[in-house]
Amino acid sequence: MINYLSRRERPLTDFFPDEDLYVKQLSGTPPDYVILIARDLREHGITQFGAPGNPGEKILPWLWENYTLEAAPPSGAKNAMLLRRKTAP
């Protein structure tokens, strides 16, 4: 939705249930910015996105390796975070 509203192209052609393929496609065409939005996913059986055995287990480490925190809500709330791609050395 954010890409649509900001008139940006989707960085990926599709969402892959296989995280290895998803991370591979992200690596091939990494977006300059990522907005990571936290929400309660318990109704979908996900205790914590990115925790071992849960969806995002491979995506979150890739994000933290390749992106830096650009902005977050005040007072340490982690509802949404803007991540900027690290520049190549």
Question: What's the total number of domains in the chain?
Answer: 1
The whole-number average pLDDT for the span 54-60 is: 88
Task: Return the higher-pLDDT residue of 46 and 78.
Answer: 46
* Per-residue model confidence as pLDDT tens digits over 39-53: 888 888 888 888 888
| Contact yes or no for 25/12 (Cβ under 8 A) | yes
Q: Whole-structure pTM over 0.85, yes or no? A: no
* Distance in angstroms (rounded) separating the CA atoms of residues 27 and 30: 5
pLDDT score of 64 more than 90:
yes
DSSP state of 1: -
Q: Number of helices (H) and strands (E), helices first, in the chain?
A: 3, 3
Give the domain range for residue 50. Answer: 2-85
* Distance in angstroms (rounded) separating the CA atoms of residues 41 and 61: 19
| Contact yes or no for 6/42 (Cβ under 8 A) | no
**Confidence class for position 61, pLDDT limits 50, 70, 90:** very high
